[in-house]
Amino acid sequence: MPRTVREVVFVDGVRTPYGKAGDKGIYAQTRADDLVIKCIRELLRRHPDLPKERVEEVAIAATTQIGDQGLTLGRVAALLSGLPNTTPGYSIDRMCAGAMTAVTAVAGAIAMGAIDVGIAGGVEHMGRHPMGEGVDPNPRILSERLVDPSALVMGQTAENLHDRYPSLTKERCDAYAVGSQDKTAAAYAAGKIQQDLVPVATRHKDAGWGLASVDEPPRPGTTVEDLGALKTPFRPHGRVSAGNAAGLNDGATACLLAAEQTAAELGLPVGMRLVSYAFVGVEPEVMGIGPVPATEKALAKAGLTIEDIGLFELNEAFAVQVLAMLEHFGIPDDDPRVNMWGGAIAVGHPLASSGVRLMTQLSRQFAERPDVRYGLTAMCIGIGMGGCVIWENPHHADYQPSTKDVA
């Protein structure tokens, strides 16, 4: 039977405010699964015209899949979010690109015609589950010298990237990091970020009850001089510090995806349409370079060039990793198209959740920028990978809604 690949649209996305990992963080005594459940419930609340039984899949990512981030989290989260027990779910792990992979996996099922509507997201509670907890790496990785030992420590891979590209100095990275803090503060002041946030009730045995309504990590007013005084924990006299890298954080995201025809049928808004995506492998020792070949591959698949991209949402695991991509493509460090509302250096990076944060912000920016037709979300991935997803703006004059029949 002949089949037609269907267009996939990003309907909406939400996230919890991001917290600092550790005993004093806002989510110190909040379960990880409850964070992502809160996001799914908020998506359903925001779209009452979507019958719950029409949600046919829930894919949730977590890097450390144990404890309250384990037990086939997508299925458990679906059940506890109020979706019918006919809605299946599953878990995904691609480290930092977990939520990004959840999106592309669900999108693939929609494009193929297996489902019409799905939810994708991610969660990481780095306070409860530090990265690598319970992991037993195969000793052959090091004994057979398949990778350099530094590949297993993300901060060291960032230092390695500095070594490979001497032009990416600490001074440039610190300046970029200050810019991220400044843009985040400006976005908060303009009410840009708050629209994505789902308030979360919290409880702490010492602090009592609370309400998480804003991101905890940002440090508005940070200066280059402040960052210059910080220690470089991954190497004596190094270049990577707590100021020019994302912190250890807790938080969750979720988004609603649909076939374009189904969104029209149900009256769901279209935030953006998926154009192409790519994941690639690179040397694990310099995993931060991963977004470069991933972007090149995604652009080639789409028949586009970097000049066609009007907005960039790049995950700021480390400033050096973002600058490596910008320099490769000849984009200035302070280009206004890049991370308009700041990034993970300011708001945080709860590993597997971050991909959907990038997408949600790009979708909001598309609505404000009908002059921009294409944007991309990209990130580096631990153990030597990169990911990139290219999106089209439905508000652009040249956007043509799909008229293909449902497969």
CA distance linking residue 230 with residue 226, whole number of Å:
7
CA distance linking residue 35 with residue 18, whole number of Å:
10
Q: By three-state DSSP, how is residue 200 classified?
A: strand
**Options 96, 173, 255, 388, the catalytic residue:** 96
CA 114 vs CA 57, 169, 217: distances in Å: 10, 48, 40
Containing 261, the helix (H) or strand (E) segment is: helix 260-266
Residues 6+ apart with CB under 8 A from 8: 107, 110, 111, 257, 258, 259, 260, 273, 274
Which tokens in the block code for residue 34?
């409850």
Give yes or no: 129 in active site.
no
**Options 129, 162, 349, 388, the catalytic residue:** 349
* Contact indicator for 364, 12 with CB cutoff of 8 Å: no
CA distance linking residue 251 with residue 357, whole number of Å:
10
Give yes or no: 255 in active site.
no
* Contact indicator for 267, 48 with CB cutoff of 8 Å: no
CA distance linking residue 110 with residue 108, whole number of Å:
5
CA distance linking residue 153 with residue 327, whole number of Å:
24
CA atoms within 13 Å, Cβ hemisphere of 15: 31
Strand partners, 259: 8
CA distance linking residue 243 with residue 319, whole number of Å:
9
* Contact indicator for 254, 57 with CB cutoff of 8 Å: no
**Options 39, 255, 380, 388, the catalytic residue:** 380
CA distance linking residue 334 with residue 343, whole number of Å:
13
CA distance linking residue 102 with residue 68, whole number of Å:
19
CA atoms within 13 Å, Cβ hemisphere of 196: 31
Give yes or no: 349 in active site.
yes
Instruction: Kindly list the catalytic residues.
Output: 96, 349, 380
